[in-house]
Structure formats: C-alpha cells, structure tokens
Amino acid sequence: MIKSPVLISGAGIGGLSVALTLQQIGVPCRVFESAADLKPLGVGIDLQPNAMRELYELGLGPTMLRGASDVYEYPMIDRDPVPTWRDGNAALLGDAAHVMYPTGSNGASQAIADARVLGAAMLQCGVNARALQAYDERLRPALSPLILRNRGAGPFGLLNLLDERCGGVFDDIDAIIPKAERDEFMHRYKVAAGACWRCVRASPASSTWRSAATVCTTRAVGI
Ligand SMILES: Cc1cc2nc3c(=O)[nH]c(=O)nc-3n(C[C@H](O)[C@H](O)[C@H](O)COP(=O)(O)OP(=O)(O)OC[C@H]3O[C@@H](n4cnc5c(N)ncnc54)[C@H](O)[C@@H]3O)c2cc1C
C-alpha cells in the first residue's frame, strides 16, 4: 500500500505520460505545472511508432493535431548528456533528462517511452529509489549517445549527403542515393532511437516492461 503520492513536476508530454502510467498501475500521484495557462506553441510534433504503441496501451487513441493560430520562434538548444538521471528519490524524465535537438523528431516519443519504463520499474521494484535506479540504468546509456547524434544532423544527414554528392540538384534521386542506402541510413537512426518498426513489431510493449524488470532484479541497488 503506497501512502505518499509520487510528485511529478511538469505537465508536459513526459509528466502526463508518467501520471497516466501511474494511474494505470495503481500508484497515486500529483502533477504540478508552473504554467498558468495552456497555449498553442505553433509546432506540431510527430510521434514515433514506439511512443504511439505506448499511448494505445494507455488507452488513448490517436489525436488530431490542430493548426496553431500563432507561431513563435525559439532558439534550438540541447544539453550535454548527464552522468545520472537520478538523485535519491527524485528522477529526471523527458527533456529534463535528455533534451536534444529535434532533428530526429523523437523527444516527445522518448518522454512517453521514459514514462512507461519508469512505470515498469515501479511495478517490479516498488515505488522507491531502486525503481528510479533501474529506470536510469535501462535508458540513460542508450539515450546519451542519441543526444550527441542529434547535435549533428540526425536523420537530416541524408540531405547533407545529397548536397555532397550532387549539390542538391538531381533528376533521379535513386541515381544519387539508391533506395537501399537511404533505407539503411534511416534504419540506423531509428534503431538508435528505439523506433524502428521491425524492432517495435518484434518486441511488444510488455517487453519494455520485462527489460526494466530484468535490470531491476539482476542489479539490486541500495536506496
Ligand atoms: C521545434 C521543435 C520540434 C519538435 N518536434 C518534435 C517531433 O516532431 N516529435 C517529437 O517527438 N518531439 C519533438 N520535439 C521535442 C518535444 O517537443 C519535447 O522533447 C517534448 O515536448 C518534451 O516533453 P517533456 O514533458 O519532457 O517537457 P516539456 O514539454 O518541456 O514539459 C515540461 C513542463 O514542465 C513545466 N515546468 C517546468 N519547470 C517546472 C517546475 N519547476 N514546476 C512545475 N512545472 C514545471 C513546464 O511549464 C512544462 O509544461 C520538438 C521540439 C521542438 C523545439
């Protein structure tokens, strides 16, 4: 029986995914949001198949993105990977843990995946610091290189390749970058981001939960 609720700072896509996950597994939580109003920011986001699957698992169908009436400009920023996402009974998640350039269009997807792995770790280890440690160990090593990868061109690197090979002028794309090479380029990125269709199909959502469980049971970490 959990007496104290889990406290979630921020009602972004990461925080809300955690809240829904905790609700699903019967863990009480409270969400705190510093913004007084919800406002459109003028950017639609693309969700990857691994994140969509988790949203379906949460019982949410696909949502229609509505066009924003105002458009704002912000600088693109990221942050170097950090050595841990956990400090005692607190853990970072989503952009707070691994903000990266949106060249791979997967920051929000990753925040959803984080939430689900965290929920899995809590199911396995309980609502405690061991769960946070298991979550950190499961995801941080894979996500840290992705931050640096996105600092380069990410999937947009394909456009750089096109520019290198023909200055961006071509009649037949296949003559410049054959389809197999394009597919391989994109596949490598999707694998790194955990979003390749083949991998998603081969590992149902519950496998993320099993993976977190394995980490937790094989590595008991003190609270
Ligand atoms: C131009 C652009 C395009 C993008 N395109 C895509 C895309 O196509 N696909 C994709 O997956 N990702 C995309 N991303 C990335 C994606 O938007 C982010 O990775 C994602 O929104 C992060 O979610 P989050 O919940 O971690 O953080 P946020 O969405 O930043 O939410 C954090 C929340 O916490 C609140 N908060 C902050 N501090 C406190 C505090 N102390 N107390 C309480 N509340 C607090 C904030 O007000 C905010 O509501 C894009 C990003 C940009 C900038």
- Best CA proximity match to 12, nearest among 25, 27, 31: 31
As for ligand 1, residues whose beta carbon falls within 6 Å of it are 9-15, 32-35, 43, 45-47, 94-96, 102, 105-109, 111
Q: Compute, in angstroms, the gap from residue 30 CA to the centroid of ligand 1.
A: 19
pLDDT at position 219, please? 36
pLDDT at position 210, please? 41
Say how many C-beta atoms besides its own lie within 10 A of residue 9's C-beta: 15
pLDDT lower than 50: segments of the chain: 64-68, 206-223
Tell me how far apart the alpha carbons of residues 123 and 213 are, in angstroms, rounded to a whole number: 8
Q: Compute, in angstroms, the gap from residue 162 CA to the centroid of ligand 1.
A: 31
- Substitution site in 31, 48, 105 for ligand 1 pocket (most atoms within 8 Å of beta carbon): 105
pLDDT at position 73, please? 62
Q: What is the 8-class DSSP label of residue 156?
A: G
b/e per residue 71-90 (b: at least 16 CB within 10 A): eeeeeeebeebeeebbeeee
Three-state secondary structure call for residue 136: helix
- Best CA proximity match to 135, nearest among 33, 29, 211: 211
Q: What is the 8-class DSSP label of residue 103?
A: G
Q: Compute, in angstroms, the gap from residue 165 CA to the centroid of ligand 1.
A: 36
Alpha helices, DSSP H, located in 61-196: 95-98, 107-125, 129-151, 157-166, 173-176, 179-193
The CA–CA distances, whole Å, from 20 to 29, 118, 182, 206 equal 9, 12, 37, 16
- Substitution site in 7, 34, 189 for ligand 1 pocket (most atoms within 8 Å of beta carbon): 34
pLDDT tens string 55-78: 888 888 766 444 445 555 667 788
Tell me how far apart the alpha carbons of residues 117 and 123 are, in angstroms, rounded to a whole number: 10
pLDDT tens string 118-130: 999 999 999 999 9
Q: Compute, in angstroms, the gap from residue 108 CA to the centroid of ligand 1.
A: 7
Instruction: Show the domains of the chain with their CATH numbers.
Output: 6-218 (3.50.50.60)
Which contacts (CB < 8 Å, 24+ apart) does range 25-28 have? Answer: 25/119, 25/122, 25/123, 27/2, 27/119, 27/122, 27/127, 28/2, 28/4
Tokens of 132: 């946070």
pLDDT tens string 130-147: 999 999 999 999 889 888
Residue nearest to atom 28 of ligand 1 (CA): 12
**Residue 191: phi, psi to the nearest 5?**
-65, -45
pLDDT at position 53, please? 82
pLDDT at position 156, please? 80
Residue nearest to atom 3 of ligand 1 (CA): 102
Residue nearest to atom 31 of ligand 1 (CA): 12
Task: Give burial (CB, 10 Å; 0-12/13-18/19+) of 127.
Answer: buried
Residue nearest to atom 19 of ligand 1 (CA): 107
Task: Judge contact between 123 and 27, C-beta under 8 A.
Answer: no
In ligand 1, the atom with minimum distance to the C-alpha of 111 is: 26
